[in-house]
Structure 1
Amino acid sequence: MALTLHCLGTGAGRTAVYDGECSSSWALAYDRRPFFLADLGLGVCKQALRYLGEIPSTIFISHNHSDHAGELPVVLAVEGLQKRRPMSVIAEPEVLARLRVYRMHELLSTGIDMSEFATWVPAPEGFRVGIQSEAGLVHLTTHRAQHSELCFGARLDIGSLSVGWTSDSGFSPSLLGSLNCPSLLLIDARKVGGHEHASFKEIAEYVANNENVEFLGAPVAGHLFTPREGICQLAIIGYGSSAEAPARADGIPSSAVLWPGQVIVLKQAPTQRNSVAFIAGFLCGYVCSLCSEHLTPSRD
């Protein structure tokens, strides 16, 4: 058994429409069973079914842009209403309100109350939301990102491990500070940055100037992620299509660039037989991805 992080897509706003590659999204799974999805933009449903076998029942939405929430109405109509799966949507309260009013507007014609599609869980900034999973209790905290649309990144604490994510954001020291040095930090960055998206150069300089931050290195010890006390290991996501991925010339090592289909084994149970089987499956999935080109809040 293992706790794993799955990169489903790295796409920017236009990527799914013009390049046919999945929007930026990632998921968590335990014992190969997915339980958490970060954003549900264009192309994510197909990738989740391909790499995970199903849509995770808990979905966090960072903001109401199509490359982060575009497939939410269809997925909830199918999974929540038709299949009667208990789906949950978590978002900062104002983001949640916008999703219900604007993103879900196309389902109003059904005359069905929004509560029939999913449980809508507010996650106010500065509060923690508990997510029950087979990996144990996961605590999620939202943090304001720097973006044109109201947008929030998140930090997830899973036992002694933590995963931070900026979602769509310009380079924001306040956001990075509020994420509070997670074990693994997934950060949105582009070749050309601006107010809404950090640049590769800004991220490279951030790592160089902070002794407690380093780029994610090549997996070791059976492809396990190795947390380091007091060190935040950083990886790049949300950079766009495969052709727009950062390179060494951008100051970003290849080990810190996430690819669709990539799996990071965050924690492996100490069972040799399961470990060997899982690592073999991970290697197969990772090689295939390269070949294809790549619920009650409480205050802290």
Structure 2
Amino acid sequence: MLLPENFEPLVCAPADCGEDAYWFLFDQRALLVSTGDEPPVVPVGAEPPVACGQQQFVGLLAGKPCWAARVDSAQAPEAWVFEGLRGLFNRLHDDLLAVAGRAIQLLEFQRTHRYCGVCATETVDHDEGRGRCCPACGETVYPRIAPAMMVLIKRDGPQGRELLLAHGSRFPTVFYSALAGFVEASESLEDCVHRETMEEIGVKIANLRYFASQSWPFPHSLMIAFVADYVSGEIVCQPGEIEDARWFSLAALPDLPHRLSIARRLINATIAEVAPDHPALEETALRAMQGPLTSA
């Protein structure tokens, strides 16, 4: 998810940033949001509405400080509920959803690096809270981001443009998307694209073109997306990874990823090259129409 233009990813909270703040409060990976508002909102105020653990500064959104914390109890107060971030797509304002993604990644780093991986000593904040340091052996760590490639394979045939889309075994719902996979040690992005394509569907590609990148907090990935041209090979799905993969014409596209994902942006951009008035583009544009963010 892309951070909004009016977000400042500061490390320390300014002394004069006002009393009201956005509170991104999590029970595990579920965010506290209101039940009586549409769209729902996160708590806003000088203090969090529930007891919580150590507070982590996230940055400034439209000049307001944003804080993240894990709650002490999973019992939500009246008129509030804990919901998973994926379930809040198209409901929570895009700006709040993006900052929530950053917030949960920072909290996960704190949770998973409480102790030194070398000598097991409890770690302390380091570099104004950017990292964690071991006071015993000096081992220092910063939030780790897992690079992952994504590639949309296309070909142009007698019936026009076709996209190779796949339904992954771990997809929460039945939609089709571009191929994706994590970069392995000592592997370039380009090598990863070719390896994953051959492993997952058994085809050869050429002419890789970089599209864009996007942070993806499920749990801590950086997606780097490419477009490629089909060269040869019949589709053979990798067991346990790909449930189904096939060529789709632009006239018969399946259910596609959510509009906030880089996968959907990649698919839309490839469609728009030859069909700027395609219904899939109109649907995404309509869903993205949101007014300015206002606090409740």
Give the TM-score, by structure 2 length: 0.25
Give the TM-score, by structure 1 length: 0.25
Structure with higher strand content: 2
- Which structure has the larger Rg over C-alpha atoms? 2
Structure with higher helix content: 1
